[in-house]
Structure 1
Amino acid sequence: MAVTGAIFIAYVAAHMFGNLKVFQGQEKFDSYAEFLRTFGEPLLPYAGFLWIVRVVLIAAIIGHVYAAYTLWARASGARNVKYSMKKATTSTLSSRTMRWGGTALLLYIVFHILHLTTKTVGPGPEESIYQRLVAGFQPEYWYIAVIYLAAQVALGMHLRHGTYSALQTMGLTTTPAAQARASAAGLVLAVVIAGGFAIIPLSVLVGIVE
């Protein structure tokens, strides 16, 4: 699960930093989007790199969900064990909502694809990626922005607990000081990535990006 989690962290971090190019204007943002589609040519077909990334992400999602279900099943079978009960009482909000947060993120991914990739929901069929993004978060579509912002809360909580769990799996939380560092790392990562994503629809709503 740590491996698939690391893949997701790497992807969302890269995706977030790429999306921040929207603040550089339409030309820069659309050029970046086109760069991703032509990366690897002529060895790869047009958009081939993006499809490789998508396949890896789909495989990671399947593996992550399977691992999460396996861990949940084991935890459910150990509910009568005192040690398990003790851990549950000291768990954080992020850890207690991990399963539901993950489900919410899966639903959000589907919505995100329908919104900005297939253009099934939201405004008209703008061909420019920049125009599509800006049109999709206009004030009249405030409810779409709310969905995105709620998803970033779920993402932040998932990243915070997931980062700590990954570091714990690697044996990097064996002392109170190490646990504090792991917790801080998870919090920083969650705030930076989720905050970076959230600032985009907010900036469109208030007219900073137009």
Structure 2
Amino acid sequence: MRILVAEDEWILADWIAEGLRKFAMAVDVVYDGEAADEHLAVHDYDVLVLDRDLPGVHGDEICRRLALSGADVRIIMLTAAASVRERIEGLGIGADDYLPKPFDFGELAARVQALGRRSLAPVPPVLQRAGIVLDTYRRQASRDGRFVPLSLKEYAVLEVLLRADGAPVSAEKLLEQAWDESADPFTTAVRVVINRLRTKLGDPPCIHTEAGVGYRL
């Protein structure tokens, strides 16, 4: 799942990002509205965690533009304004969810996960294929009843492959969905993680390489 955190309080923004990364999410961080616009134009995000009072371009304006454009990204708006009227306004301009500050991180993470599931093609909370069972709530995997211990990055890549439901996924798509913007597009990181997954998932081989296309589960 690819997330953009747009929050002008640097410490808060970095804290949110670090916490979400522990849920195997790829997270980019910006600290003003102009940077948020630039990132949204380049990357396909599943969820935008948006501070309503961003400097540069106001959060309300970003939210309105996304709603009018029909973008698939889901928006959870953060704000110090907690009145009912202001929450109604935030939802009225296109936000999918609204969370007043201060907030509990566990609640934010749960809301982001819920929005992420809505931003993608509808899928069950448990993904299954080739004897693999992936519990997206507990972030646990098994194959043929055998528990498979996964790193956060291995989990993220396996989830993308399972969501593809047998269709090939390019290395570029895996980088987009499982890594943040710091990932080098020429890196061997995808191949390394795929090889580790193959080893952990065991025989018979279930992740196949299609030359010039990508990887298929």
Q: Which has the higher contact order (CA 8 A, sep 6+)?
A: 1
TM-score over 0.5 for the pair: no
TM-score, L = length of structure 2: 0.25
Identify the structure with the greater strand proportion.
Answer: 2
Higher CA-based Rg: 1
